[in-house]
Structure formats: structure tokens, C-alpha cells
Structure 1
């Protein structure tokens, strides 16, 4: 469908003042006076607001809103109410005396507040007046012999106020409204949804990119040649079962298979050399007797050669050294002992640890040399990770950001003054551009985008646009092993958790337009509903209380990001006074509601598992175990089971987390890439999913020689875990309904140098 073209010069800006609030339409953010940060609303809610603004204070009926915003769908009766409620919360509107949106009983709504369009400067002034801007700090000192990229002396906190800094104007407001409403009318198939970034539903102005791969299946892990003419990536060639390295031009064109794995080997992680002549990659044979090799081959094809060994259970991250004579690796997954990043020299075949004060608990990965070769920057301690830098010859590590984010890839801009990173938040991955001079962050307007790669000599970007749709399935254990699809929709469903009463089920889904928490009573098929007021994170499933009345959920609510306790039967959502700011997961302690277990990031250190006493205010820390990625409670065994970041295997401790109780349960399971894909039965047995040669989703019990059953031969299970019924007679798991991943490509603009902080 074509969108009507309107000259942007004749239109006001895409940002406006509604009453006392400022609204950024492309970002879907509303900033109320006195609020610490703006509140983001769903695409449907911003569509309702756009429709109300269009009518200039006139009443808009519910039927008109349904026809305009939900055209072509069959929504439930309360979707308009939910959108209005979300807008009122964002506007901080008084329910008894509304100042922004008035309800016309049994008919519709109208916008009461005056509307004023803001230009770029006016919008920035509005935000500056409402919330003090954080100082970007001073420039880092640099030798006079070279002009290095500049870094802030103080860490950059982009979790709070960066969203409130004005970004460049992207689209005119009326054009945005037309595009948005048009897109809301369109079909919502996975193929259509994948292009929503170009249809006005992004969190930023639409990006000028194109998809350069289009064959069925998943293409991922792109790497651009230095001149941006070619891209290498990972895909499964036609007629083959294992992934290989493919190369093609950055225009849509047929790819050429570059690597040729044999047997059970999988090739992955291509990285282009600085001179463009070679590509390094990993070749992994999974399994207990697996193998892992670091390989190099000419970029135009030819003889492959092995340059190093690696751990098949924990394949490493790596990149080329600045001079192209070797590779720099992350802190784990190579045969070298000790802590920290390590270098592999091709000429000698020797490995060398970099000395920068890393400890055994630090998980440092995706290292990259700066364009001038003076620095190495890497990610430390994801999924609440941040960017750190060290001199390329070694030295003290300096923290660059305070994102506390799950970073899904990053790369340098060619000028060395900014980076592009993929941040996973709220069940989606988006690309952000971080300016190292000012500390400002800009959303690049790309949905479902990860694994960014930037050409070394040309300002051009490639990335993976991942479109994976999962559905919830109930799998009966024993007997016939029936697999039943539940709650069919066109949305993406994740993280199913059955309650101890075996009646209630919760899961996360974007079926309402934005990821939310959904609850149902399995005895009543019509009971499925959204829990309003909370946007859950998708790192780990919520945790049920043993009486099946409450849930611990990590996410974004009225009180900001943090730990919430939800009563699904009533819809009550309460922010808990957790002392952990960067909480990732929370668990109830069996038979003791006074205590809670939390996995969280602590300052510059790794994730830890902590036990808190909730009776004290603030909560009292009882004990903690460092270096924990995910935990599960085994009530039958009165223990906590946990996996560690960047390491295969499983550990356990008692419920008091006493140091003497910590021991390893298994050295192989779970694998690093599947560290969340395991669960504990009510009998204390440990279940996990694995991929075998003839089954994409094989369920196995720890200690058994063979899988318990093949849940699905072709569809993979979700990476974020599954839930066992209290009687261990069924599992609730997400299975892929439609897997797709394409390589996107777009030119980049190098901003002119800015003098001073922003």
C-alpha cells in the first residue's frame, strides 16, 4: 500500500504540548510535569491520542476509534478502555476531575487539554524545564600524538534522563498520524509486522534501511567488509542441515556459500579482517564429545585453516586485533587459564592474557578495538551489562556506560566518536547510537534489530532483523505425549508459568500491541485477560507464591522499573521496596513469605543471588552468592539450583545460601546458550531441552541416558524456560511458530564534531 505524500515543509513538528505535558509521537512517550522520566504507551494508545487530536476537541465515539485504530481486527470490548486508561496514567490525569480526556458516558471520549505543536528547540526547552539534564562530564585525557575518541570521565547513566533529551526531527506530525493510522489498519502477519518500522510504529523516526536477504529461514550474525561492499553472515544453505558462512553484496543478490562444514559441525560468528582479505569464524560440533575450532579462510573462498581451539560448550566471542595479525577473545571459552580478555597471535600460535584487573567472576565479551587502535571496549556482565574500555596494551578497566542492559551486539562508528548497540528491553531489541562525547543516546528507530556491524572505512550499518513468533503449548507427559496449542493469536507469547494449584496460568505476550502480563483460569476458557499497569521484562518467568495467590514480576510499572507483586485474580499491581535497583529475577522462599530471593546486578560486579528478609525496612540482606545468572527453587529438595553466566553446568545451595552448601550438580547442563531452558519438577528432578540430530526440541531429565520425548522435530523451544505442572504430568512451553531473520543494511551519517557537552 502507498502512503499519501505530504510536503513536510507545510506541517508542524512531530512533537507537541498537550496541556502541561509534552508528547513525542514517534517515540510514543508522554512526559508529565514532575515525573522522573517519560512514560511510553503502546502503538494503539498513541493511535487513539492521534485520533482525538485530529478531531480538535470534538467527541469521538468508541465505534469510530475501533474502526480507525483497530480496523481489520476483532478486538475485545475493552481495548479502547485500556488505551484511554494508559493515556490517562501517562498524562497523570485525575480520575475524579479529568483535565485531559473526558469520558462521554455510553458513547466515547474527547480531548479537553489544548494542543500546541513544538519545534525542535521548543521541545528541548520543554524537557529541560521539566527535568534537569545530566552532565555529560569532561573529556578523557589523551596523548597529543593522536586525536582519540573522547569519553566522559564520569559514567553515563542512560537509563533515566536520556530519553528526555530532544532528538532530531524525524517525521512531520500529520504525516506520522496518517502513517500510523494507515499501518494500524494493515494486516498484522509476521511479514507485515516485520516492516512496521517503516509504517510509523517505531519508537523513533523511521530509519532508511533495506533488507538484503529474503530467503526462508534465519540469516544472522552479519559482518561487513571494510568498504561495506560485501556482507558475511550465518545461514543454513538450501538442502543442508547445518549452518555455514555465506557472503553476498550489500545489494539484494544471491549469496555465495563460503565455508563448508562437514558431519555435525555448525559454522558461526564470521568476522571480517581489517584488510578485507580474510574472514575468521567458529566451527562447533555440539554434544558431550563435541569440538570447537577457530577458523580462518580467504574472503573470496579457498582453503580453510585452523588457528585455535575453543570450548564447544561455551563458544567464545572474538574480533580481529587492530593490526590484523591475530584475534582478541572474550574472557571465557578458550583453553587459556586465568581471568580476562586474551589474545591469539597467528604467527606463533600463542595465547596471552591481557592484564587489566579482571577477576574470575567478570564475564567480558564482544571485545572491539577502537578505530585508532588505542582502546579495547567490551561488554561486562550482561544481562545487566555495560560497556567498559581498557588501553589496547592493558591497564585499568574504565566503565563507559550505566545502561544495566542486555546488550545484543555492538560496534564502533568509523570516526571513533560513537557506537551503535542493540539493547534488549521489554521483550524487544532496538538499536541505539551512543555519542561518547556527550553521553547522549539516540534510538535509531529499528524494531527487532540486533547484532549491529559497521564497516571499518565506510559509514554503513548491517544488522539482524529477527522475527521469531512463539506460541504456548501444553505437552502431556506419559502416555500419548499430546502437544496442544493454547491461546492462539497473531501475537508473540512467551514465559508460561503454571500455578501450584494447577489451575491458573500466566504468560507474557504482545497480543495487545505491547508486551504485557496475561492471566487465565484454565477451567474457564473465557477468563483470559491482561493485567494492566505492568510491562514485564522477558529475562525470566514470573514466580508464583506457594498459595497461588500472588506473583513476583520484574518489569516497568507505575513506580518505574523494579520488582512488583501481582495479585492476578484482582489485577492488583504493587511495587515492592526492593533494595536491588538492577533486579533480573525474583523468587519466593518456600513456606516463608518473609524472605525473597533475587538475582540482580551489583554496581560494577557480576550478577549475584541474594536472600533478603522483607520484615526489615529497608529489606535486610541475609546472604548472597556471586556469579549467578538464573535460579530455580527446588521445594522438594529444600535447595536453590542456579546456573552461572558464561559457564556450562548447574550448581546448588541450601535455601539460606550458606557458603558451605554450594556445590556443582552437573558440569555440562545447561549449555551456555541454553542457560535458562531448564526447570525443576515437584519431585526435585531437573528437566531441560536440548537439540539432537533428529529433534529440534527434545525434553530430557538430568541423569537419563536418552531424551524423555521429542516434543517437536522441527520447531525449537523458547530460550527463556518452561513450566512443569505440580503433578509432573505436563509441561507448558513456548514453541516457535514462525522463525525468520533477515540482514538489514543502511548508510549512516557521521555527525559534525560537537564542541563541549550536550
Structure 2
């Protein structure tokens, strides 16, 4: 195909579409900040829009030219247009590139022109003619040789639900023969592992273990054996369960994760690959281990550089040459690969994104979920080219294939996090922010009349503001292809510090709420969660050179403060810093004058890093008491006296900062995940 295009012209046409440069020969879209390679379907859709511009392309034209003889409904087109808009930084309500023409189709609204090479004059008519011929040849080529991504996209569009129960059904995994599906169901009764027949939905096995949380099931159908992880309090146990014998066997210790898978089984090597915790250089490191079930021999395969990075989600390639896994923390997780032959390991993806799970499609390709485009979708990655291609499926994670790659399952997740307010005077509790999306990171204004929050209502995190006088919320700041989170107020009550996350990494945007002007804070490196105190700025370092340390920006000079392994920090009214640690439970206080830290309270779990806040000379934190349910809830700690006071049994629970208190300390904002739903879907690839 490339040779045909090159024979037509010395250089393939590159189109200017607004701020984007579009290469239709290979689907590459580039601007000053981003570079995306479009999947086959997205490429053909954009090509068709350009070919007909400025005329409308009807829905039937799209279906005929893009999907050919495949049977899909118009929902597939709508999803593809939505994905293309997302990449372009466009929206249906304020179309800059693709306009919806009701009951007809879609129209490209931007002026287009071919990018002219220096000293070469190409008329627009010739360029359009060559481009049209190129599109036709592309269409014929893709019709004759259905590409891998097209196969997967078509399959995703045709997926049907396997599970229908309320609650969370997750970590779905197909058995190698494709006959059985195992997954975890979490509901009010706790966690269960379900093994369900793909041929007869009435054939089910339900496995429970009293006083244990269960995760990462793998069903060895030829051995009638289930392998999984089980957590009892803080201890993780790798276990097997023989279905017919109804016998549990403890295989050793492990690392427990309720979101991402931590186990993989390979029938060729007869080995189990799983996440485990070991001590190295005085730190507890989470890496991938392997266990030979025949000889019971165990060995460690991966070693992250520090405890700030953890390895899980192991997968062995079909040809047994590579071990793939995810490496990162609670904010950023990239895919890595290790060669079983050379022993070397290297990253497959880079940047500030989060991957929950992945699986191998063949010896050279991985399907993984990620929020690369802002919302979680599935992507296809060639391990040699390392250029991800968007497949689609909003909210999808945990892709899984049978051994023949004829059947695929995946999980679609939907969360609803709302912001509630507790009034300490009248003890009232009411919901202020309610949507079907994720609303979190609440932050009271200095005068307490407003609060900021982050929401993904537009599929990408933006900053919103709520006004108590008007009892109304409105969109404040949104940027294309940039995630905006962790808003905090400047003490002047006018400027707002916002964490930005794009392909360049983390940074800070300063937004003036009166003039609507913006500028950035320069800490000289990646950073997030910026805060201000008396004209001095602080942030949490997120770079290769410095990570999980507090940065101070004063009079243009950046200083790295002594505290290590900081997961979050806030500033008291006297300038001291309260922080939580990623390697030790409790809250700590750092005094910039003495440059010393000390333990403030041991009562905050490491996993509760987002469930506390500081205001004035007090810290509010969530306590999960094992001794008494009555003492569980939000507590106030007076930093000056050391006194602790119970505030409310209403508790925060969400991803991201979930608690904010006004300066009068009579109102608490609490973020709760009020709804978490997920179902498993199945589709046929052959």
C-alpha cells in the first residue's frame, strides 16, 4: 500500500486541519503537543470527512465505506466519531472540527489544505484528486486484508453482556479453552469468585472464604483447579481450590490488589506468575515471582527500583519469550516487558497514564486498557513499534483472550462519586454535587462561600465551582487533551492552583478567577498538588530525578525538603506541613524552621492517603476502627493540644482527595462513591 501511494507522488500528502497535521497514508495525527496514530476505522472516517469536505457525509456512506460488509449498527459510528472528537480535542456541543447534522450525518467544519513542501507547488485540485485516489486505494486494501485493529474494533462493537447482577463483577478471565469464565463479584455480602460456563449460564461454581477478600481468579479447567489470592486483614495468601475435592491449599504469600490482576498461569511452562512482596535494600518491594507447581520452586523475576514503584498484572506471551507487567503507583502505571532469553526489561508505554490490565493478542501485540485519551478505553500495542492504537470501548478494562484467540471478554466499569456536606452545628448531611460521573477533589474557598471540585463529566477531568449563595455549580476550567485535578486556593481568594496532566507530564496551572487569565508555576520538574502559604509555593515532586518529595518555590528558587516517600501533604496555619507516607502508616508533621519531622498520629492507614485534610491547626482524618464500629468515622486532631474528637460516622470513599473542611470548621465536604457497577462482556473474534 505504501509503495502504491509513493508511486503516485514523491511524498504522501499531509493535510493541515486546524492545529493538526494529518497523514492519511499511516493515520498519524500531530500537533505541537500530541502525536496519535489512528486506528484503521478512525483513519477511514477522518479520510472520508476530508474527501467530502465541506459537504455532509451521511451515516450510510460511513457504514458502506468504513465497515463494508460487516454488520454493525449506527452506535458503532457514533462511538467512532466520539473517539475521533476526543483525540482532536473536540466536542459535540461546541464542534470545532466535526459537526453533527441531525438525521443526516457529520460534516468537517475546519478549513483543510495540503501541507506544501518548500519549493514545490501543488495545486489544491491535484492534491484533492491524489488524496481521493489514495483514499479509494486504502479502502480497497483494507477491504481485502482486514487489519488486526479492525477485527478487534468490530468485535468490541458487537460484544454482548455475560453478567447482569448489581454490584462489581470484575477481574474477568477466560480459561485457556474458552469454555469457562472466572471473575470476582463484590457486593454487600463481601467478595465471591464465580466460575461460569460459557456454554450454559446455569452452570456456576461460587467460591467463598470466610473472613477473606478474594481477588485475581485463574481457572485451570483441565485440572479442575482454581488459583486466586485471599486477604485476611493485612495478610495476602496465594491459594488453590480443587473444585471437585472442595479442598483449599495455601501456596504461599503474595501481594493483594482488588483492582488489577496479580496472577497469570501458563500451561506450557506449568508455572504460576504472581505479584509478591519481598525485602530489598531495607524496603518492601512488590515485584513479579514465578512458582513451579510441580517442583514448588519459587524465584523472583522483577525488582522495581524502590517501594514507590510496584509491579503487578503479569502476563506471559504466547511464544513464552516475554513477561509483560505493569509498573507504577496509584497515580501512574505503565506497561513493561522482560525478555526470558536476555533477562533485560524495558518500558512499552511512557507518560502519565494508568493501565489496570492487559493481555496478549498474539506474539507481537498486547491489548491493554488505559486513560491515554482521557477516559478509560482499550488500546492495541505492537511491542516492537511501541505506538498504541485506540480500539475504543469506553470504561473497558481486563481484556482476556482464550488460547485460540477466538473469544474475548472484557469488563465495563461505571462509577458515580458525589460530594456531600456534613454540618457540625445541626448535624445535617446532604448531597450537594450529583452526577453520573466522578466528582471529587473538593476544596473550600478561603471565605467558605464556594468550593472547587474536579469532574470527568466531559470524559476528561475539568475544574468546576459550586456557589453556596446560588446553590449552583458551573464549569470553570477545561483544556483539550489535558486532565485537570487537585484544585487548591491561593490565600488571596482569587487565584486557583490546578494540577495539569498531559503528554508532557504533571505541572501546575494558575487560574485567575476574576480575569480568567492563566499562567504556569515553574518548579523545574514534574510536580502535582501545588499549594501556597504566604506567597511561597509547595508541590509534590513527580519526576525521574526527584519523586515523592515536597518541593518549595520561594523567590524563584526551588528547594527539595527533607521528608521522604511523601504520598500527600497539606499546610497548617503556622506554616508547618502535615504529610502521609507511601511506606509507613500514620500522619507526620514537618517544621521548616527546625527541618525536622515527627509522627503526628499512627491512626491513618497508608491506603487512606486521600481520606484526610488539614485546616487551621487541626487535622481531620478517616478512622477505620477494628475495635468498634461506633468509633469508625471522621475524627479531628488538634495539633496544638493533641486532643482527638469524634466528628461524624459519615465517611469518605473515592479515588482522589475526598475531604475538605472550611476555616470556620463547621462544614465538611465528603466525597463518596455512591455507585460502582461493572459487567463482563463477551465477543467472538473468529
TM-score between both structures, scaled by the size of structure 1: 0.65
CA contact (8 A) 1:690 1:700 kept: no
Q: Given the superposition, is the C-alpha separation of residues 467 and 568 from structure 1 closer, same or farther in structure 2, using an over 3 Å criterion?
A: same
- Does structure 2 retain, via aligned residues, the 8 Å contact 1:310–1:333? no
Q: What pairs with 1:177-192 in structure 2 (closer than 5 Å)? A: none
* DSSP-derived class of the 1:228 partner: coil
The residue number in structure 2 matching 1:222 is 172
Distance (whole Å) between structure 2 residues aligned to residue 639 and residue 372 of structure 1? 52
Aligned partners of 1:520 and 1:529 also within 8 Å: no
Q: Distance in 1 between matches of 2:544 and 2:201?
A: 47
Give the corresponding residue for 1:387. 335
**CA distance 1:296–1:34, shift in 2 (3 Å):** closer
2:586 is the counterpart of 1:586: no
Q: Name the CA distance, whole Å, in 2 between partners of 1:215 and 1:696.
A: 33
Give the C-alpha shift of residue 34 in structure 1.
Answer: 6.0
1:499 CA displacement: 1.8
> Which of residues 190, 194, 198 in structure 2 aligns to 1:246?
194
Q: Distance in 2 between matches of 1:563 and 1:209?
A: 40
* Aligned match of 1:699: 634
Relative to structure 1, the CA distance from residue 23 to residue 436 in structure 2 (aligned partners, 3 Å threshold; closer, same or farther) is same
Which of 255, 262, 276 is the aligned partner of 1:318? Answer: 262
1:423-447 Cα offsets, whole Å, 9 max, x none, are 1357632221111122221111111
**Using a 3 Å threshold, how does the CA distance of structure 1 residues 360 and 527 change in structure 2: closer, same or farther?**
closer
Instruction: State yes or no: 1:293 paired with 2:227.
Output: no
Q: Which residue among 497, 502, 505 is the counterpart of 2:443?
A: 497
Deviations 1:718-744 (A, max 9, x none): 554221222332221222343211112
Is 1:279 the counterpart of 2:279? The answer is no
Pick from 157, 163, 183 the counterpart of residue 207 of structure 1: 157
Match of 1:638 in 2: 576
Q: CA deviation at 1:683?
A: 2.6
> Which whole-Å CA distance do the structure 2 matches of 1:123 and 1:575 have between them?
46
Residues 610-669 of structure 1 deviation map (CA, whole Å, 9 limit, x = unaligned): 4143644xx64544655444333344570240331xx462453636599x7355556663
2:323 to 356, 364, 376: 376
How far is 1:270 from its partner?
A: 1.2
The alignment status of 1:724 with 2:658, answered yes or no, reads no
Gaps of 5+ in 1: 1-14, 41-45, 58-81, 92-99, 101-108, 126-166, 172-196, 199-203, 750-758
Alignment of 1:100-249 (within 5 A): 111=109, 113=111, 207-236=157-186, 241-249=189-197
Aligned to 1:182: none
Q: Deviations over 1:151-210 (max 9, x none)?
A: xxxxxxxxxxxxxxxx98969xxxxxxxxxxxxxxxxxxxxxxxxx99xxxxx9963322
CA distance in 1, matches of 2:133, 2:277: 44
Written as runs of structure 1 = structure 2, the 5 A alignment for 1:420-499 is 420-425=367-372, 428-477=375-424, 479-480=426-427, 482-499=428-445
The Cα of 1:299 is off from its aligned counterpart by: 5.3
Contact kept in structure 1, 2:359 and 2:400, CA below 8 Å: yes
Q: Note the aligned Cα RMSD (angstroms).
A: 5.0
Contact 1:426 1:537 in 2 (8 A): no
Q: Does residue 602 in structure 1 map to residue 544 in structure 2?
A: yes
Contact 1:220 1:741 in 2 (8 A): yes
The Cα shift of 1:266 comes to: 2.2
3-state DSSP of counterpart to 2:371 = strand
Aligned equivalents of 2:341, 2:469: Cα separation in 1: 63
| Equivalent residue number for residue 138 of structure 1 | none
Contact 1:469–1:492 (CA under 8 A) maintained in structure 2: yes
1: CA distance, partners of 2:667 / 2:574: 18
Q: 2: distance between equivalents of 1:168 and 1:412?
A: 13
Deviations 1:239-279 (A, max 9, x none): x61111011134682462431222x3322221334956422
- Counterpart check, 1:675 vs 2:582: no
The aligned residue for residue 571 of structure 1 is 516
Decide whether the 8 Å contact of 2:574 with 2:617 is kept in 1.
Answer: yes
Tell me if the contact between 1:636 and 1:684 (Cα under 8 Å) persists in the aligned partners: no
CA–CA separation in structure 2 for the residues paired with 1:695 and 1:429: 38
The one of 465, 474, 478 equivalent to 1:519 is 465
**Match for residue 553 of structure 1 among 494, 498, 516:** 498
Aligned to 1:740: 677
Asked if 1 retains the 8 angstrom alpha-carbon contact of 2:172 and 2:410, the reply is yes
Unaligned segments of structure 2, at least 5 residues: 1-12, 39-44, 57-89, 100-106, 114-127, 139-146
Q: Give the 3 Å change call, closer, same or farther, for CA 407–689 of structure 1 in structure 2.
A: farther
1:687 to 591, 598, 621: 621
> Which shows bigger deviation, 357-366 or 694-703?
694-703
**Residue in 2 that maps onto 1:133:** none
Measure the CA separation in 1 of the matches of 2:220 and 2:108: 59
Q: What number of residue pairs does the alignment pair up?
A: 594
